């Protein structure tokens, strides 16, 4: 079975540019999570979707960040405009339900110059 | 929110040695997972273990929910076991996984 699929694996761009990260959850999973990993703050939850509906976006750092889940098999995390402090590894995870084990994608390593 | 503490922060082992990693948490949990982050950055699920004991090859884990801790055992360590091991928990009624700071394991030949 395919796991959680993220793209791109790596992204390098200049500050001010728009960045879009993509995620395909495991088929049949109704919960989707976006996390960010940095050396300073470790792994942090950015946003949680249940049945394609955003339930908790309290972890989204600021208005430059937005996330969508137009259907059960696709989600995006967008940063506009990007800043160097957004450089991090962004993970998408999905689970069968909110309190079941979460399965992580391979992450997107984002570098903003 | 729930607090997660992992120990030790760093561990160096000779290949073939055994080790125990510990995870303490501050409140009741409905989800506890152990992950291995390999040198390529991938987060690999090891165990989903909110209570009880599980084994998978050379790895096993035990969670004592009433005493709020979990242990990860690695036996006959191999160089491929190197990386960072994370414990992550979510409290009762919550969906949010809170991660510990991890144990960085280095297995040397």
Residue A1, pLDDT score: 63
- In this structure, what DSSP letter does residue B25 have? E
Would you call A98 and B48 a contact, using CB atoms and an 8 Å cutoff? no
Number of residues that this document lists for chain B: 109
Residue A71, pLDDT score: 95
The label of the residue with tokens 């992992």 reads: B6
Closest CA to A95 of A9, A29, A15: A29
Would you call B97 and A91 a contact, using CB atoms and an 8 Å cutoff? no
Q: Is B71 on the interface with A (CB under 8 A)?
A: no
Q: Which residues of chain B have pLDDT under 50?
A: none
- In this structure, what DSSP letter does residue B20 have? E
Structure tokens at B41: 């950055």
Query: What distance in Å separates residue B61's CA from the closest CA in chain A?
Result: 15
Would you call B95 and A106 a contact, using CB atoms and an 8 Å cutoff? no
- Pairing mode, strands B52-56 and B4-7: unpaired
Q: Which residues on chain A place their C-beta less than 8 Å from a C-beta of chain B?
A: 31, 33, 42-43, 45, 48, 50, 55-56, 89, 91, 98-104, 106-107, 109
The label of the residue with tokens 């996330």 reads: A67
Give the integer Cα–Cα distance in Å for A110 and A26.
Answer: 23
Would you call A42 and B102 a contact, using CB atoms and an 8 Å cutoff? yes
pLDDT in tens, chain A (113 residues): 689 999 999 999 999 999 999 999 999 999 999 999 999 999 999 999 999 999 999 999 889 999 999 999 999 999 999 999 999 999 999 999 888 899 999 999 999 99
Residue A99, pLDDT score: 80
Count of alpha carbons within 13 angstroms of residue B45, beta-carbon side:
17
């Amino acid at each position: 079975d395919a796991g959680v699929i993220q793209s791109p694996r790596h992204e390098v761009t200049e500050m001010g540019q728009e960045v879009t990260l993509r995620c395909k959850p495991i088929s049949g999973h109704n919960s989707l999570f976006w996390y960010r990993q940095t050396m300073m703050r470790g792994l942090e939850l950015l946003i949680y979707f249940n049945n394609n509906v955003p339930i908790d976006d309290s972890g989204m750092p600021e208005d430059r960040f937005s996330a969508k889940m137009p259907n059960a098999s696709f989600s995006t995390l967008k940063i506009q405009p990007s800043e160097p402090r957004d450089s991090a590894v962004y993970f998408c995870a999905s689970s069968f339900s909110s309190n079941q084990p979460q399965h992580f994608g391979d992450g997107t390593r984002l570098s903003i110059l | 929110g729930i607090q997660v503490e992992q120990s030790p922060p760093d561990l160096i082992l000779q290949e073939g040695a055994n080790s125990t990693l510990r995870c303490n948490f501050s409140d009741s949990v409905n989800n506890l997972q152990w992950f291995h982050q390999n040198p390529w950055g991938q987060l690999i699920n090891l165990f989903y273990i909110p209570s009880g004991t599980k084994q998978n090859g050379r790895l096993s884990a035990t969670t004592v929910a009433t005493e709020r801790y979990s242990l990860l055992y690695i036996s006959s360590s191999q160089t491929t076991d190197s990386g960072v091991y994370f414990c992550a928990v979510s409290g009762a009624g919550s969906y949010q996984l809170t991660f510990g700071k991890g144990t960085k394991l280095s297995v040397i030949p």
